[in-house]
Structure 1
Amino acid sequence: MKLLKISLLLLITLSLTSCFEDQDDNLISASEINDFVWKGMNAVYLYKDDITDLANDRFTTNEEYGNYLNSFSDPENLFESLIYQRVTVDRFSVIVDDYIALEQQFNGISTSNGMEFGLFRFNETDTELYGYVQYVMPNTSAETQGVTRGDIFYGVDGVQLTIENYRNLLFSSNNSYTINLGNYDDNGTNDDPNDDSVTESENSINLSKQSYTENPILISNVLNLDANTVGYLMYNGFTGTNAFDSQLNSVFADFNAAGVTDLVIDLRYNGGGSVNTAIWLSSMITGQFTGDVLVSEQWNSELQEQLENNNPQSLLNPFVDEMKKFNTDGDVVFQENINHLNLNKVYILTTRGTASASELVINGLNPYIDVVQIGSTSRGKYQASITIYDSPNLGRADANPNHTYAMQPLIFKTVNSVGFTDFDSGLTPDIIVNENFGSLGTLGNMNEPLLAAAIADIEGTGRFSNQGNYDIKEFKSSKDFKPFATDMYSDHILNLESFK
Structure 2
Amino acid sequence: MKNIKALLLLTLISLAATSCFKDEDDIIVSENEKTEEINDFVWKAMNSWYNWQAEVPDLDDSKDDNNESYTAYLNEYSTPENLFNSLIYQTDVIDRFSWFIEDYIEQEKAFQGITTSFGLRFEGVRINTDDDVIIYVRHVADDSPASAANIKRGDIINAINGTVLTATNYNSAISGLYQDQVTLSFVSESDGMLTAIEDKTITATVVSENPVYFTKVFSDIDGKKVGYLLYNGFRSSYNDELNDAFGFFKNENISELVLDLRLNGGGSVETSAYLASMIYANAETGRFAELVFNSKQQGENDYYNFTNTLNVYNSNSEKTGTEAINRLSTINQLYVLTSGNTASASEMIINGLSPYIPVKLIGTTTYGKNVGSITLYDSPDSDFLSRNSANSTHLNALQPIVFKIFNKNGESDYADGFEPNVTEINEYDYWNNTLPFGDENEAILKAALDNIRGISGRSTTTKQSNNSTRLETPYTNNKFENEMYINADFLSNTK
TM, length-normalised to structure 1: 0.83
Q: Which residue of 2 aligns with 1:140?
A: 144
Q: Which amino acid aligns with 2:373?
A: S
Partner of 1:481, secondary structure, is coil
Tell me the distance in 2 between the aligned counterparts of 1:372 and 1:494: 31
The verdict on how the C-alpha distance between 1:102 and 1:159 changes in structure 2, with shifts beyond 3 A counting, is same
Matches within 5 A, 1:369-380: 369-380=357-368
Partner residue in 2 for 1:270: 264
Tell me, in whole angstroms, the C-alpha distance in 1 between the residues paired with 2:92 and 2:191. 34
**2:323 corresponds to which residue?**
336
Relative distance call for 1:38 and 1:123 in structure 2 (3 A) is farther
Per the TM alignment, residue 168 of structure 1 is displaced from its structure 2 partner at its CA by 3.3
TM-superposition CA deviations, 1:220-255 (whole Å, max 9, x none): 0111114100110000011111xx110111111111
Residue number among 439, 443, 447 corresponding to 2:441 in the alignment: 447
> What is the CA distance between 1:150 and its match in structure 2?
1.2
Where does the alignment leave 5 or more consecutive residues of structure 2 unmatched? 1-31
Give, in angstroms, the shift of residue 438 of structure 1: 2.1
Q: 1:79-112: CA deviations, max 9, x gaps?
A: 1111112895311100021111101101211112
Say which SS state the counterpart of residue 253 (structure 1) adopts.
Answer: helix
Post-superposition offset of 1:184: 4.2
Cross-structure match for 1:324:
311
2:184 aligned with 1:220: no
Shift of 1:123: 8.0
Match of 1:165 among 146, 169, 172: 172
Give the 3-state SS of the residue equivalent to 2:116 in structure 1: strand
Q: Provide closer, same or farther for how the CA distance between residues 151 and 28 of structure 1 changes in structure 2, counting only shifts above 3 A.
A: closer
Counterpart in the other structure of 2:11: none
CA 1:468–1:151: 2 relative to 1, 3 Å: closer
Distance 1:28 1:480, change over 3 A: closer
1:388 aligns with 2:384: no
Alignment CA distance shift 1:370-1:422 (3 Å):
closer
Specify the SS of the correspondent of 2:481. Answer: coil
Amino acid at match of 1:484: F
Q: How does 1:44-63 map to 2 (within 5 A)?
A: 44-63=49-68
Counterpart CA distance in 1 for 2:333 and 2:247 is 18
> RMSD of the TM alignment (CA)?
2.8
Greater Cα offset, 157-166 or 244-253:
157-166
| Equivalent pairs, count | 447
Instruction: Give the aligned partner of residue 12 of structure 2.
Output: none
Distance 1:470 1:419 in 2: 40
Secondary structure in 1 matching 2:452:
helix
Higher relative contact order (CA 8 A, sep 6+): 1
Q: Gaps (5+ residues) in structure 1?
A: 1-26, 188-197, 308-313
**Bigger Rg, which one:** 2
Aligned to 1:362: 350
CA distance in 2, matches of 1:146, 1:478: 26
In 2, Cα distance between the equivalents of 1:148 and 1:200?
A: 18
Worse overlay, 156-165 or 31-40? 156-165
Residue 114 (structure 1) shift: 2.4
CA 1:473 to 1:98, structure 2 compared with 1: closer, same or farther past 3 Å? farther
- What does 1:181-220 align with in structure 2 at a 5 Å threshold? 181-184=186-189, 187=192, 199=194, 201-220=196-215
Q: Counterparts of 1:77-116 in structure 2 under 5 Å? A: 77-85=82-90, 89-116=94-121
Structure 1 residue 141 displacement after superposition: 2.5
- Aligned to 1:404, the other structure's residue is in SS state coil
**Following the alignment from structure 2 to structure 1, what is the Cα–Cα distance between the partners of residues 313 and 157?**
46
Q: Secondary structure at the match of 2:417?
A: coil
Which deviates more from structure 2 when the two are superposed, residues 136-145 or residues 286-295?
136-145
| 2:432 is the alignment partner of 1:432 | no
What is the TM-score when the length of structure 2 is the normalising length? 0.84
